[in-house]
Amino acid sequence: MFIDLSPLAVPMLNTIRALMPDLTKAEQRVARLLLQDPSRLLRASIGELAESWAVSEPTLVRFARAVGCSGFQELRLKVATELGERSAQPGSVVALHVDDSGATLIEKVFAHAASALTRVRAELDAEQIDIAIKCIEQAGRLILFCHESTVHIAHEVAHRFLQLDLPMMVFGESVAQAQMASQTRAGDVVLMFSLGEGSTQWRRHVETIQGRGARVLAVTRTGSALSAAVPEHISLNVPGDADGFLPELASIISLLLMEVIALGVALRKAKSLSKKIRGQTAKQARSRSIKAGR
């Protein structure tokens, strides 16, 4: 299934307004109620919507298809994207109830994750990612600083980079980070990963690392103190769950971002290696030709 999330896509709510005259009476009822409170579509399951809007679940599915979506879930994602996800924080969008069935939980949990991923995807800056890819591609040593609370994410990232033949050293303890910062050298790239502000010590480490000729990258939330200290950073704003019941998305979203970076570096290294091999082959061919002519 392809979902058009591009900025040039016709807004879903405008599409619904334009198509209202062509809908059935039941579908028009859905359209009116949806347009009155679009965020309701994101807060409730399809069963809850059907009950509160006094229509059947099949009617909701038919409505979604009538307005150009492949199904109800795509309609939900398009509306969530249009609302900018600002009013759709996963912690408040998905209301869990003690009597939720397995089917309801499946829908709510996956909708929660899908809306968060859609929001983060829309906010990521491709130029920032391209800079990080180029920087890491040229690194002599790749070093990752993380907080102890995210060390499990860091080790997953390091494992994935290693699979792509990109070794990475991980430091999650402050003492070890201070020692490593004082031992960096030209050609090193230190990636600081923090979903919060980044520690005060890290900001001191930035000066130490840069003073020794190494380069610093950061993955951190927009407007954090770390983002101000490290111009070459990727803004990553991971939605939270105030109740603590819904899936913790920091790991999923962080790993997906680092997968993008790791694949970008691996592909560029493969391209460089291919050029090098072609150059060596051509040189060997010229050498054989010269020898043959003697």
Classify the phi-psi angles of 248: left when phi > 0, otherwise alpha if psi is within -120 to 50, otherwise beta. beta
Q: Check whether 48 has a pLDDT greater than 90.
A: no
Helix (H, G, I), strand (E, B) or coil at 216: strand
Q: 192 forms bridges with which residues in the sheet?
A: 145, 218
Residue 278's pLDDT band, with cuts at 50, 70 and 90, is: low
User: Do 29 and 53 touch, CB atoms closer than 8 A?
Assistant: yes
Place of tokens 């409170």: 37
The pLDDT score that the predictor gives to residue 63 is 95
Domain that holds residue 266: 126-273
The Cα–Cα gap between 220 and 234 comes to 6
- Answer yes or no: do 65 and 142 share one domain: no
Tally of domains within the chain: 2
With pLDDT > 70 as the criterion, what percentage of the chain qualifies?
Answer: 80
Structure tokens at 208: 């130490």
- Answer yes or no: do 95 and 52 share one domain: yes
Residue 219 placed within a domain? yes
The Cα–Cα gap between 275 and 127 comes to 25
- Answer yes or no: do 101 and 197 share one domain: no
With pLDDT > 90 as the criterion, what percentage of the chain qualifies?
Answer: 36
13-17, 96-100, 145-149: the lowest-pLDDT one: 96-100
